[in-house]
Structure 1
Amino acid sequence: MLVLAPITRDNLPDALGVRLTPAESHRVAPAALMLAKCHDRPGAQVWHPFLVAERGEPVGIVAVSIDRDDRLGGAQSAWVHNLLIQAEAQGRGLGRAAVAAILDWLSSEHPSVRRVGLNVRAGNDAAFALYSSFGFGDVGRTRDGRTIMLLEV
Structure 2
Amino acid sequence: MVVLTPANADNWRAIARVRAAAGQREWVADSTYYLCLSAYGDLWRSYAVEADGATVGHVMWAVDPDDGSHWIGGLVIDSEHQRRGLGRATVQALLDLWEREEPSLSGTPYREAALSVSPDNQAAIGLYRSLGFVETGEMEDDEIVLRRPRA
- What amino acid maps onto 1:2 in structure 2? V
- Using the TM superposition, give the Cα deviation of residue 141 of structure 1 relative to its aligned residue in structure 2, in angstroms: 4.3
After TM superposition, the structure 1 = structure 2 runs for residues 2-151 of structure 1, keeping only pairs within 5 Å, are 2-42=2-42, 45=43, 47-67=44-64, 76-111=68-103, 112-142=109-139, 144-151=141-148
Give the total of aligned pairs.
145
In 2, Cα distance between equivalents of 1:10 and 1:33 = 18
Listed one character per residue, the Cα deviations across residues 15-42 of structure 1 (whole Å, up to 9, x for unaligned) are 0000012322111121111111112335
Q: Which runs of 5+ in 2 are unaligned?
A: 104-108
How does the TM-score come out when normalised to structure 1?
A: 0.86
- Using the TM superposition, give the Cα deviation of residue 140 of structure 1 relative to its aligned residue in structure 2, in angstroms: 2.2
- Using the TM superposition, give the Cα deviation of residue 143 of structure 1 relative to its aligned residue in structure 2, in angstroms: 5.5
In 1, Cα distance between equivalents of 2:65 and 2:27 = 28
Q: Which runs of 5+ in 1 are unaligned?
A: 70-74
Q: 1:144 to 1:64 in 2, by over 3 A?
A: closer
Per the alignment, residue 72 of structure 1 pairs with: none
RMSD: 1.8
